[in-house]
Structure 1
Amino acid sequence: MKDSTDVKPQDLASAIGKIRKRDGSIVEFQMAKITNAIYKALVATRRPDYALAERLAEKVVQRLIKQGFDASNIPGVEDVQDIVETVLIDEGLADTAKAYILYRHERRRIREEKMKILERSRLDEVDKALSTNSLRVLASRYLLKDESGKIVESPKQMFERVAILIAIPDMLRDARVFMLDGKFKRDDVARVNAYIESIDELDGRYSIGRYRLNKWHLEAMLRLYKELALQNRMKVGIDELLSMLEKGEFDAYEKRVEEYYRLMVDMYFLPNSPTLMNAGTRLGQLSACFVLPIHDDLASIMKTATDAALIFKSGGGVGINYSNLRPEGDIVASTSGVASGPVSFMRIVDTTTEVVKQGGKRRGANMGILEVWHPDIEKFVTAKTKPGVLENFNVSVGVWSDFVDAVKSNEKYALRNPRNGKIVGYIDARQMMELIAISAWQSAEPGMIFLDNMNKYNVMKDVQGLIRATNPCGEQSLYPYESCNLGSINLAKLVKRRADGSYEFDWQKYEQIIRLATRFLDNVIDVSKYPIDEIDRATKASRRIGLGIMGLADLLYMLKIPYNSREGYELMNRIAEALTYYSMDESVEIAKARGAFPLYNESGYIQGRLPVAGYYELAKEEHTHDWDALIEKIKRYGIRNSQTTTVAPTGTLSMIADCSGGIEPTFALVYEKHVTVGKFYYTNRIFEEALREAGLYSDELLKKIAENYGSVRGLDEVPEEMQKVFVTAMDIHWADHIMAQTVWQRWISNAIAKTINMPNDVTAEDVKCSYLLAHELGLKGITVFRDGSRQQQVLHITGESKVKRFDAIPSSYVVEYIRRYVKDGSLLREIEGAILKSDRAKSSSRGYVLTSAGEGEVLCPLCKSKLVFAEGCNTCVNCGWSSCIVS
């Protein structure tokens, strides 16, 4: 036998070839896995030396070869691990060997826990790759179950179920069967309907390569075929299409299924929750949220309630602008009675939400909007300051620029009866603004929707009028009956490690993921099974999608860039611009083959307009992409989707992907997490690695951080540079929260789900100034959460002895930005006074305890753990329950 020391390092892995896993399967041998395991043991013993780990891994493989293992004598996982322990001891690294042994035991414990969560006796490669947190969320809410509640699919099968469905629109646009400008009149619609009626007989009959289509995949394909056939675009009849499928003539699309599958299973991208839950199932409804109209007559009101019930049953949420309803006490001529007002009719939908459980998964969610000119605005603003009222609603005041102008100039503001448009009275605009702020200070509601900013660059207003409503979390502006089809890219996955061990952002991979995810979401529109016909028509008329991101905070941690810094904001700006640019550019590419969205020729795109504020409001030399060239492409080829980007809530999705949520800072670096066997300190994985590499990791420090509201600010044990990088939501001043949302809003065509966190000791004046600043900087909406502001505390999940040792102060960047962009002098002075005041500053050395505005805590309805409020949603960090439909 050749001496293993003569084998070159790059040839060592190939000399072994394969390895036998614990389940008996044989896979490719990867020396990098040995290196990584050894490196983790070195880090645990304060020797973070990756080069040493590589050398030790080479010695392990050399010893395997020496013991006779090769391509014909395949080693098992246990064989390799035993040799690792021996090599570490022989190299004088007994403490590292001990850490490695503990690591093996921990891995075994995790495997057993995963099998228990999934109710399985064996784990596949996807189960092993996903964290226990991720699997717990999937098992709780996403994996299919039988009538007894037993899990009947694995995460791998779930992702395959989704990927197969999403690939069907690609297959039906194959040039052999589809032509965009075709004139193929088909007379087989009745035949298609017959297939749909007997869909049970088609279950599992057809495949795309190795991927078997279930009956619900086939039903979606038949529905899409019928739609395209009625547009005269199908070259072949349904029988011929099914024959081609049966003969394997579409097997090349196995590669596309695989692309969508890997996009999700590798956690580069996840679609909104209804898509994961319902794709390839009987329900088949893939959209997250909808907007419904409501008009000032009983028939419309009851139809809206009925439509809402159908949406809740299908797994969606609803946004409604109630401003068309006449005010309380107004005359009702048909009955000689008086109207009960918008708030009373909101209770109908609230009750409907309570009694209709969504697809067996969860209850619905609503956004209720009332515009500030409505006579019932005061009742609406204060409605949720009382506990138990409209609990299934988020509420927001819709404002136009004339109200903001009246606030600035301290003028009266007219109230109008929506029944006839007549002025019925006046309010003091500043007092109303203060009432809104006081209510939000007390209960975190209402938020504000800035309808003028929302419509400023709205390319659809020429054909559809002004947008006046949003989905339940406020990030997706929608016309009546439109739906939001959302998904999020995991930025934390898009990094490359440099030779020195540091990270850099992978811009090329980012573009690739954006383009594939854009196609994914466009396909969602085609295969979703909408709850009512009006939604089907409205959604396909505009084909609005919302591609967003998650994992921003984790990305910044890895790049060692503080969230609230000039460098942080500049990176956010560049990432946001690329997201919308590449998604729109890909939408043009899709339009070339499939056609522009049906309302394109009546939209602002024809005049070269864009729904992107940054294009207009930032100098061209500040752009990193050629937007003018994109405009010309759109005018020449059209665009597939009226809008393409949204930053949606990702609370549960980010738990599946094991990353931070949306564009939010991390809510806590360390917190107490409760599980069935007790409680432990959960630590952000990137922060934990940094602590270990710095030799700082200890249970004592974790406890101290958890009791410092999950922050390292003000802790002498943590180096100052680490304190700057590893910031949390409560470390960041509310003005910097608004700044981050502003940076993203410049480039996002829809809007942003974000919570503007504030400490307990802010005043209602601070809240008011935050709302005015948000409007001034171009935000489309804002949600404020003051720590302890709700009737029951929801933000904190730390111990009883929590003490805060720091104050959040605004960054110099945001102060300079506000001074540069807020033009109204009196408003600038008011905002400056709010963000720069120091009369409540606390000494960081003595610390102080924050109080809660009420008794008890809001608990998760499923597992009774404490909730986190972020991205406008209550989310459970234990089981993944979320009050938001999207996440």
Structure 2
Amino acid sequence: MSASSAPAAAQPAPVTETESLQVIKRNGTLVAFNPSKISVAVTKAFLAVEGDKAAGSARVNDAVQRVTAQVVQAISRRLKAGGKVHIEDIQDQVELALMRAEEHKVARAYVLYREEHARQRAHEAPVEAHPHLTVKKANGEIAPLDLGLMKQQVELAATGLEGIDEGSLVDEALRNLYDGIDESEVLAALIMTARSRIEQEPDYSAVTARLLLEQLRLEVAGALDLPRQQPLPELYPQALRAFVATGIRYELLDEALAAFDLERLGAALKPERDHQFGFLGLQTLYDRYFLHWRKARLELPQVFFMRVAMGLALREDDPNARAIEFYHLLSSFDYMASTPTLFNSGTRHSQLSSCYLTTVQDDLESIYGAIRDNALLSKWAGGLGNDWTPVRALGSHIKGTNGQSQGVVPFLKVVNDTAVAVNQGGKRKGAVCAYLESWHLDIEEFLELRKNTGDERRRTHDMNTANWVPDLLIERMRDDAEWTLFSPSDVPDLHDLYGNAFRERYEHYERLAEQGEITLFKKVSAKQLWRKMLTVLFETGHPWITFKDPCNLRSPQQHTGVVHSSNLCTEITLNTSAEEIAVCNLGSVNLAAHVVDGELDVQRLERTVTTAVRMLDNVIDINYYAVPQARTSNLRHRPVGLGLMGFQDALYRLGLSYASPEAVEFADLAMEQISYFAIRASAQLAAERGTYESYPGSLWQQGILPIDSLRLLREHRRDGELDINTDSRLDWTPVRELIARHGMRNSNVMAIAPTATISNIVGVSQSIEPAYQNLFVKSNLSGEFTVVNPSLVRDLKARDLWDNVMVNDLKYFDGSVQQIDRIPDDLKARYATAFEIDPRWLVEAAARRQKWLDQAQSLNLYMAEPNGKKLDALYQLAWLRGLKTTYYLRSLGATGAAEKTAPVAAPQPQVCSIDNPECEACQ
């Protein structure tokens, strides 16, 4: 089955250009890359498993073609236009492609075949270690390979780590070298070799990161004209000074950074904190975050964190002291600022905010002005949420031309294409979400925007969509009653109403329609519309389900406006209008870092949250605003969104299963602590800096905290249809008294964002997500990375269960532990993955957090085998529990679902308190 030695066979389908690629064979020689050999190897793998019936099989032939194409594309992506790849790397990709094709038996046979041949080679005469190899230096000089340096680099990278075989790591890297190789490629070979071992031993992630750090040190030293052989502790202070000077000279950095005491700041740097990185984290920073000039990086990791801290401390009374304080928080990984802040802090374009929310008015000037604003905001790395409800529906009268409107959908196609064209400064994809309220006459067509069938001119495949659902629709659906769709041009005030006021006005318009005074409307079954929402959500992942009334009735700012939508990731709930574009500035507490010795370290959490809120408040004044409406809104209300990440890792450290009452209680406990410290920090800032402008009349000013606002929501729910735990553990009296004396600095303080990238940097689980898999290949803009759950490995090692067979079993079962017989039941429960957990546990934990939040949370829901009844029960439960928003619904294909075991048990009555035989959520 060797992909290098098999004879030619059926040619694969045309794939990526490969003419310039070369393969390093095990004896160190180079040969041309031949995709047909992969086809032969894969065909033999099928024959070994399925016997003669595989020969000539159309299914097998198709699988061979697809696997071959995937392998060639993966190798070509890695090496771009040209380069060299080792035969072992090709075989790794064959194995991975077979798994992705769900040919698990064939993949397992392929793995066993490779292991057997590796053992045979080990007993044969060893290949010479190439002591005669030479390298070509940057100046063209040919010199002997410094084998001692390679060994030293590996030894330093492995310091303090267990399970690292330094000798074999060097030997395997040597196999990837050839005579005359560029000197720069030697370290790259060590990195690639260490990277390939992460799945067997998680500590190789740290080894790979440290080798990458050495490569980065050499690159930065060359770019800043610093001594290349200087160790990092000595290099760092010089690197900070040189970076600031160079960055200003190249017009990358704000000239104000030169005013800092760089000697003092350089002395405060902690080079040892570089060893906190895993490979994925450092590679992500290297590829996307470090400032560079002509492709050469100018920042080392601790200089990067200090640059961000300096940018956030520019307007402090003592900027040097605050910069050091902010640096320590960031570099300790206790807290991480959002991606736009990390990208742009301290630069000449300090667009630090994460989210922008707009309301589009019903005229062409406003519509195309909103699209222009989208482009400008996206250019500087902002995620966008657009409220399109005011725009008149299809068939509405246009007074100026005496014609009929084409409705919302054609404009959304333009929004979609704008998001594709303006890709956040070339750093990440442009992203926008359109919201539409569920009484809009175009809602049924809006639901189909992401479908793969129909008129392509009325499809938006690259943007997100979300339903803005009023409680009245849920009530009508539960009653199996009718629902009326209107054009906003006929019912303009519905857009700004919620709660009982919305109900009364909506019913008034229904009476006008019945009397013939409104002619453009449509009556539908509320239950059928709801089912269509859920069906399309399952089929396309959109539109997401978000709830208008909880967002508004619990909003601290309901005295100044209306929340018309959420944002790109459904965690922001701020007012928007024609005059104001809502802006939110995000950052996340690393909850896992605050679990020490099996319990939450409250004092450390207090320090983290207090400093984090100050950093977020600073963003508002330093921020670059691409459009004036955003500046007006942000300076008037000063909202921030402190969130969290690493929830799943925190549970691992506590020894808890996500699907457990104890995990739900911990979600409650942790969020109450964060809420307490965040609200108190904002009040303390108000004492120091003053309240935000629109504070008078807010819920804060009325003494109504987020936990109290649940009462407002219950009052507007029919028959009090709100079922949520309202217990608290802390004495909130001091916080209430502080607000009464000093007010609040920020209109909104908390929101839980997805943290997709910053959690990778820190090396913890995303946001509030359950573990997706325990071993999988992660693909992002930085490439493909093997991700193994270090907590699982640690627990398996403690029970002498971690070995190569376990690695292969995890691969075979797609990272699931449920079908591996030798894993104990307690570990199967603790390491159940997202699709193995009943999704009601996610809702229960989210409901406990939501009661403490003044905004919302990005809540993904996972369901292995969705059906209409399950979806209906799940989203009704989310509504009953008072959630403001939900995010993606993620499901498995039929094949994947069939391979999963039964989910971990659903919440019991003590958790699911609506234990009622008539309630579908409890059946």
Q: SS at the partner of 2:813?
A: coil
TM-score by structure 2 length?
0.66
Pick aligned residue for 1:768 from 850, 872, 875: 872
Residue 607 of structure 1 corresponds to 702
Q: 1:420 to 1:588 in 2, by over 3 A?
A: same
Please give the alpha-carbon distance, in whole angstroms, between the structure 2 residues aligned to 1:347 and 1:596: 41
**Structure 1 unaligned residues grouped into runs of 5+:** 1-21, 24-32, 45-101, 172-249, 498-502, 794-799, 834-887
1:415 counterpart residue number: 485
Task: Please state whether the residue corresponding to 2:882 is helix, strand or coil.
Answer: coil
Specify the code of the residue in structure 1 equivalent to 2:788.
T
The alpha carbon displacement at 1:831 in A equals: 2.2
Which of 273, 281, 287 is the equivalent residue of 1:134? 281
| Distance in 1 between residues matched to 2:682 and 2:785, nearest whole Å | 46
Give the aligned partner of residue 114 of structure 1. 213
Q: Is residue 654–residue 660 contact of structure 1 (8 Å, CA) maintained in 2?
A: yes
Does the alignment pair 1:470 with 2:582? Answer: no
**2:569 touches 2:887 (CA, 8 Å); kept in 1?**
no
Q: How does 1:100-179 map to 2 (within 5 A)?
A: 111-116=210-215, 119-120=219-220, 124=232, 125=271, 126-146=273-293, 148-171=294-317
Q: Is 1:758 paired with 2:824?
A: no
Q: Where in structure 2 are there 5+ consecutive unaligned residues?
A: 1-147, 150-154, 167-200, 221-227, 233-270, 492-508, 514-520, 715-722
Work out the CA distance in 1 between the residues paired with 2:807 and 2:885. 36
The range that moved more, 765-774 or 677-686, is 677-686
Q: Which of 772, 786, 789 is the matching residue for 1:684?
A: 789
Task: Report matched runs for 1:680-759 at 5 Å.
Answer: 682-759=787-864
- Answer whether contact 2:914 2:922 (CA < 8 A) is retained: no
Q: Which letter does structure 1 place at the counterpart of 2:634?
A: T
Return closer, same or farther for 1:538/1:742 CA change in 2, 3 Å cut-off. same
Q: C-alpha distance in 1, partners of 2:799/2:768?
A: 27
The verdict on how the C-alpha distance between 1:110 and 1:38 changes in structure 2, with shifts beyond 3 A counting, is closer
Q: Match of 2:240?
A: none
Choose from 40, 57, 63 the match for 2:162.
40
Alignment of 1:398-797 (within 5 A): 398-421=468-491, 423=513, 424-464=521-561, 466-480=562-576, 481-497=581-597, 503-612=598-707, 616=711, 622-672=727-777, 682-759=787-864, 761-788=865-892
Whether the aligned pair in 2 keeps the contact of 1:504 and 1:559 (CA below 8 Å) is yes
Partner in structure 2 of residue 357 of structure 1: 423
TM, length-normalised to structure 1: 0.68
**1:379-416 CA distance string (max 9 Å, x none):** 01122122783233221111111111100100001212
RMSD: 3.1
For residues 206 and 866 of structure 2, the distance between their equivalents in structure 1, rounded to whole angstroms, comes to: 46
| Per-residue deviation, 1:677 | 14
1:440·1:767 contact (CA, 8 Å) conserved in 2? no
Q: For residues 346 and 782 of structure 2, what CA distance do their matches in structure 1 show? A: 36
Matched letter for residue 527 of structure 1 = I
Contact 2:312 2:346 in 1 (8 A): no
Q: Using a 3 Å threshold, how does the CA distance of structure 1 residues 309 and 303 change in structure 2: closer, same or farther?
A: same
Q: Which whole-Å CA distance do the structure 2 matches of 1:678 and 1:298 have between them?
A: 42
In the alignment, which residue of structure 1 is the partner of 2:899?
Answer: 804
Measured after TM superposition, the shift of residue 583 of structure 1 is 0.4
What is the alpha-carbon distance in structure 1 between the residues aligned to residue 356 and residue 834 of structure 2? Answer: 30
Whether the aligned pair in 2 keeps the contact of 1:755 and 1:785 (CA below 8 Å) is yes
Greater relative contact order (CA < 8 Å, ≥ 6 in sequence): 1
- Please name the residue that 1:208 is paired with: none
Partner residue, 1:386: 452
Q: 1:117: how far off?
A: 5.8
Q: Kindly state the Cα deviation for residue 362 of structure 1 after the two structures are TM-superposed.
A: 2.0
Instruction: Please say if residues 412 and 426 of structure 1, whose CA atoms lie closer than 8 Å, have aligned partners that are also in contact.
Output: yes
Distance 1:612 1:678, change over 3 A: closer
Partner residue, 1:54 = none
Q: Evaluate the alpha carbon distance shift between residue 137 and residue 627 of structure 1 in structure 2; reply closer, same or farther with a 3 A threshold.
A: same
SS of residue matched to 1:384: coil
Sort the Cα spacing of 1:107 and 1:141 in 2 relative to 1 into closer, same or farther, 3 A.
Answer: closer
Matches within 5 A, 1:294-309: 294-309=360-375
Cα displacement (A) at 1:766: 1.6
Counting only pairs closer than 5 Å after superposition, residues 69-88 of structure 1 correspond to structure 2 as: none
Equivalent-residue separation in structure 2 for 1:595 and 1:809 (angstroms): 50
Match of 1:195 in 2: none
1:698 alignment partner AA: D
| Worse overlay, 385-394 or 737-746 | 385-394
Shift of 1:43: 14
Q: Distance in 1 between matches of 2:896 and 2:593?
A: 36
Aligned mate of 1:397, from 452, 457, 467: 467
> How big is each residue's C-alpha offset from its partner over 1:105-156, in whole Å with a ceiling of 9 and x where there is no partner?
997765333334674567732444322211110111111122x332222222
Once the two structures are superposed, what CA deviation does each residue of 1:784-832 show, in whole Å capped at 9, x if it has no partner? 424246xxx9xxxxxx99973511144343x4433x3478x75x1x223
1:603–1:110 Cα change, 3 Å: closer
Amino acid of the structure 1 residue aligned with 2:921: I
What residue number does 2:911 align with? 817
Counterpart CA distance in 2 for 1:103 and 1:711 is 17
Distance 2:771 2:204 in 1: 30
C-alpha separation in 1, matches of 2:573 and 2:782: 44
For 1:679 and 1:620, the matched residues in 2 are separated by: 42
Does structure 2 retain, via aligned residues, the 8 Å contact 1:290–1:478? no
- CA positional deviation for 1:678: 12
Q: CA deviation at 1:514?
A: 0.9
Deviation at 1:711, TM superposition (A): 1.9
The AA in structure 2 aligned to 1:114 is L
Give the counterpart letter for 1:115 in structure 2.
E
Give me the whole-angstrom Cα distance separating, in 2, the residues matched to 1:135 and 1:444: 31
1:70-117: CA deviation from partner (whole Å, max 9, x where unpaired): xxxxxxxxxxxxxxxxxxxxxxxxxxxxxxxx9999977653333346
Paired residue secondary structure (1:161):
helix
Partner of 1:193: none
| Cα pair distance change 1:633/1:728, threshold 3 Å | same
Q: For 1:781, what is the secondary structure of its paired residue?
A: coil
Match of 1:64 in 2: none
Over residues 32-68 of structure 1, what are the superposed CA-to-partner deviations in whole Å (9 max), with x where a residue is unaligned?
x99x967835999xxxxxxxxxxxxxxxxxxxxxxxx
> Which amino acid letter does the alignment assign opposite residue 569 of structure 2?
C
Q: 1:478 deviation in Å?
A: 2.0
SS of structure 1 residue aligned to 2:433: strand
Cα offset, 1:332, TM superposition: 1.1
